[in-house]
Structure 1
Amino acid sequence: MIKRINDFFQTSLRNQFIGLMSGFIILFIIGATCLYVYDQSIGSAYKVQSAQLNQKEDVAEQLYRDFQKAFFDARGYLAFGRQPFKESIFIQEKKVADTISKLKELQTEPEDQLFIKDAEEFSNLYFKKLVPPVINSYEQGDIEAVKEASASGATATIETFQTQLNGYADSIEKSKRSAYEEVNRKESLSQTAFIVFILLMLLVLTRLMRMIAKRIGQPLDQVSSAAEQIAENDAYQKWTFNNKRKDEIGKMSRAFEKMIYKIQEKEEHLLAQNEELQAQQDELESQQSELEHLLNMTKNRESQLERRNEFIHGISSSLNKQEVLESIVKSMSSVMGASRGMIVLMDEQKSNASFGISKNGGAQFLTYIYNGIHQRLFDSREPFSLKREMTPSEKGYHEEVLYSYDLFLPVLSAGHAVEAIMVFSRFGNDFSERELDEYISLAKQISISLQKIRLFEETEDNRQLTQDILNNIQEGIQLIDKDGNTLLMNTKLSALISGDFDDLHQVCYQTWKQALINRVEDKEELEEYYEDIVKQGKTGKHVLTYHLADSKEVFQVYSESLYRGEEQIGTIFVHRNITKEFEVDQMKSEFVSTVSHELRTPLSSVLGFTELMLTKELKPERTKKYLTTIYQEAKRLTSLINDFLDVQRMESGRQTFEKKFEDIVPVVQHVIDTQKVNAPHHYFNIARETDCTIVLGDKDKLSQAFTNLISNAIKYSPEGGTITVLFREGDESILIDIRDEGLGIPQDAIPNLFAKFYRVDNSDQRRIGGTGLGLTIVKEIIETHEGDITVSSEEGKGSVFTVRLPIVTIETFKEDEHGGDGMNIIVIEDDINLASLLKAELSDSGFKVQHSSSGSEALKKIQEERPDAVVLDIMLEGSMSGWDVLEKMKSDEALSHVPIIISSALDEKEKGLTLGANDYLVKPYHPSRLSKTILHLLLKKGMKGEILIPVIDQKAGQE
């Protein structure tokens, strides 16, 4: 068996290598596994110990919070006498007992047992012996007994226990640190052992490699040395090494020795054949050189012709100047074999293109184009080349001296003026005379191409100028040929036709005519008009008015023939939009009709009843009835006249507004109180979803607008029902929805609802009086306040009118209150991260923000700065809490008016508002809510000063 294993390794180097490496790997895996298992055991033990300490720390913190809550509740009950504080004390007693029970389950050290014993004793002392007598004395009104209990050691006992509780928490933290240091020490030892293990394994591996190298490399070196001797001496010599080995090296040495014998036998024969083949090879090489020279000449000529053809095709395939310039410089660089190049036109724009040149390099060339060596081109008008040493940036990784040859080539116009210059750089070899002749020929081709582009651009500029002139004319203009095909059309007419034409030219007669006819109402009349003009040539004074089917626009079209000399070359159509004139004519008619009807009705009543009173003897009660009717009709007549005058003043720009900060809710409430007297069958409901209801506006004009809207809601719900006014917040605006349960509005009438004199065509609504001016006046008033009004409705179910008005922002308020300076806000917050967030939010909203983390420091700042508002946390650094700061500020007459917003994680809103806070925000909340709260409080405060805005002209916007 041993012999068989020995033969297995001796007959193969691969088996030897695999055996050694397998043993090394097994040893390495065993050692690494042991170290890994040890390291995992350290980590597992630390995790268990850390988890126990963390649980113990959490329970200790919970015990601290439970006792603190009991302390605060006891003090709160003694300070304010509120029953919930008293009940909370005994609830905390149960929580303390539960927490101590949890701590007993986690005790592992003697100090845990001692602390638990102290905690139980203190809990029994506090809840059984200290608190009940003090509460009993307080409830009996014996304040002196309460003070005596506090002075007799109760406070000292509590402070002593708090010190014990803090000391216990510190001991837990110390245990955690000790455990962490111990696991670090063990892990360091584990790592050191792993490094030592790796070093030992590397040492073993080195020894194995040396052994393998000695066994394999030494005999290979001897075979290699013998082979070199044979190659140098051309004779076989014996070498001395053991070739009796059974492995691959022994087999190779024996085979190599046999090969040497055979090589020497055939060497002489091969030498003779080699001399003969050498002679034949010399002759073939001579013929090959000649053929290669001819082939290279043919390829160069073919390549030159291809580049020339590509060059000519590139500059003649486009009329875009920039594309042609880029094609020229790339093609010329290819023809020349240049590494970089540039072409510049001598026009006003210095149009240029470059290849292989940076943007800065091109700008530098244009800057100095009329300086230095370029001037030679303008003087001689002949090409020339320069040799220069290449710069380091051009040489790249080459270190030796290299040269670049720069060719300056002019492009001459037909008048022999320089219209462009070209510069190309080639590395390695200069430009020959033959090449210069070829490049001059190509420059002439470039000149012809540039000339064509210049002529095209001039033509295109003239055409575009004509088209731009036509496009800026308000009328739609079209030029057609004798067959009716479009030669020219401006964008106004293209938009009117709604033709999706890529080109405004060359549109056939039937196409554009049908596209226009499809849009109008009187299709047959318009088609007959075009047929008379195009087919029969009836141009001139004939004018046609037509209406668009999908809109209310009205157009008027007329035509004129276009002559060149005495020959008619086409016809021009002009389409004028006369919608405004048409609407004015209709409005005049409607105005006369409306005024005559609406004014005659009350006047008829007034005149009729007056005549009766003058001509007949009437009883007193009938006289009073007639006088009442005359009075109501006179009021109605006055209201109608006022509406007409309001609309006229608004349109003429003479309406004035006195704006100031107003709360819109009382304005609407007053309107409802006024209107409900005349609406006994209606129920009014006001709902609010926002507190931001302050706007900048004219109270009387806003009252007029909402009076019209609510009056309409009453009139158009004759059967009664609920009228709801909802205030909600929009994007920097307030939205007021006025909803009724009345007749509703047809969908086709909504777009015209705010037009003057417009009334919905409905039999039920026609019975309801009105001029159709109320909503027009509402729209004008709301838009003057930089708002808008929208409506949604469903017939038979009612309508909703939504008014949007901009709410007053911080910028508006600080411009009027502070002359453009930001309002000063002091944030009192001990959490640095939250304070930074609030400071950033308030600063972005336009406030000047200062921060304090302690109550005493904050009070000094407040007394010095006199801020506009204070943001106050309850839990603060130092001895003063947020409640203390609040009490100090409210007791100070100079600071009592400063708004205070409490920002706290404690949900004690009722207590905060009772102590005088203006608002209470419970963490967490969105920072923007704080900005809005401060703004709303400051605006309410500012409204007491009646801040007025200058009178503004409605139309001109002048102050």
Structure 2
Amino acid sequence: MLLIPHSRYRRILQVCMLLAGLVGVCYVCTHYLRGAITWPGPAISHQLTLAAGLLGLAAGVAYGHTPHSYTLPVGVIFYAGLLAVSGAIVVQTGGVGSPYAPLWIVVATLAAIFDIWGVIVVAAVVHGYIAWALHQGDITMQHLLTAGIMAETPLLFSYMTWVIGQNPLSYDPDLAHLNKKIAHEYNKSDTVLQAIDDGVMLINKTGVITLMNPAAEQITGWPSESAVGQHFGAVLRLQDDTGTMLADNHNPVYAALDSLQPSHDSCPLLTRTESTVELDIAVAPLDDTAREGVIIIFRDITRERAENRQQSEFISTASHEMRTPVASIEGYLGLALNPATASLDARARQYIDKAHAAAEHLGRLFQDLLDVTKADDGRLQSKPVVVDVVAFVRDIVGGLQGKAAAKGLRLIYRPDGGEAVAGTTIVSPVLYAHVDRDHLREVVDNLVENAIKYTPQGQVEVDVAVDAEDHIIIIIKDSGIGIPAEDLPHLFQKFYRVDNSDTREIGGTGLGLYLCRRLVESMNGRIWVDSTYRQGSTFYVELRRLSHNKAIILQEEAMQVARSKLASASTQATLQRDHTPGAITTGQLASPSNLLPGTPAPVLAPAPVPQPAQPSRAAPQPGGLARQPAGASKIV
């Protein structure tokens, strides 16, 4: 398909409006000013004047409002109208000798806007008319030369102006082919942009919108004519969950412009009509330096979010209602297995053992479903405290040694130098993080359990290290079945499970890793995986590291809050006791009238004030694991 630049398309519309104006002036002069001025030619008919006026009016409406992909068909229609109106005026007012022949000449000079094909089509039409007029006797042989000059001269001038003058590639076959190929690719890209349902917006490095597709217009409520040239912040008014406009440091567009890295987010958008839609938005630089700006791709996920909320509400309600009877079943099965409450033969105990294990699994499933719905709804409560990550992970790994041993696996904790042996002195680093203990325990416990579950033989290694950017990295590495490369991008999605011959016999719901990701994200961390199929996997959890001094400050603040709560609770208990009828108040207890004769008055010693724990560990060495920081020795 031939590509028509907007500048050439607009030139056709401009000539349409010019023709309408000139015909209107001629009409007024010939019909209303005939006595006042001397007009050299015959009058133009009412019908042709009306046709020229309508053509000019339509051109004015289309000017600036035609999508680029429609410039060719619309341009052809308008140019055909120009040819018809101007040709009819010339024929009606005298043919070759018409005083309005210059109108035809102006119109004919536009033929090459459609490249050589436009010239060929117009030449064929004109020469066909001349032959027909000659046959009918409307043109004599004496006027044939004049008619030929009027037909050929503007077309030749058009070709020289629009093809040779504007397209020097026409004479180089290779470059001409390249030019057509580029035009073809441009048309394909433009067609895709017009057809896709996702909104697409291009902005330059200063944030000004340079392109906007129809889907973006529909989602934002802004027509491209109004949006292009504006700063993106006036069109993409992104909000947080509270309805407040996103700050620049949380805006994914600014993040991509500043970091030169792709960014992704989901947030509400305030449209031009002040309605709110939920957006999934992705931003990526157009080049490594963002000199060309960034591309913004977004889609409306309002209905998807509503459906997810309904699904989450159903799952939460169903899980909550079913967890109670399952807990009862598990409890009664536990009583049946207790030798103090029931006596069973070996076969019955085996059956009940399996039923008890299934009930425990079902209970964990319901708990996972509840945790997932809380994470999706933003109801996960985080209570961050200062945690020594090395010691914390050591406790989790120690609790899972039994499961590893039952499968014949070695479970190694690297900060201890290998497998811990009771009674030995271990020198390990102290790495602090400000995180929720329960969330971190669930993440590490899940990852280590998965490593044990999916490792038929060999070992599982757990390490805690520090990267170059001073982040704490928890590493869980196994020698298990590994993960196929095509499954890695989907591994942390909800309900996603790797489905192959190695995993079908291993139970799972596809919720564990998704929940791990949400919990890690709630602690401002990051989780990812490296894996080679049939060779093993390595999971990484990245957390922000606290300096030693910051950790001490946060611990002291937590102590002060705890002391305040304790003092407040003590005061309330005292007031409640003092106001209880018949109770002996503190003052009455110390009064001599309330003591037995000869009994000395009691001395009420003040309650000891808890002192803050003094840190006994030295600050960790930055830049990596320090295996022997001062004061970090522990006895296992």
TM bracket, shorter-chain basis: 0.3 to 0.5
- Structure number with greater Rg is 1
Highest relative contact order (Cα 8 Å, sep 6+), 1 or 2?
Answer: 2
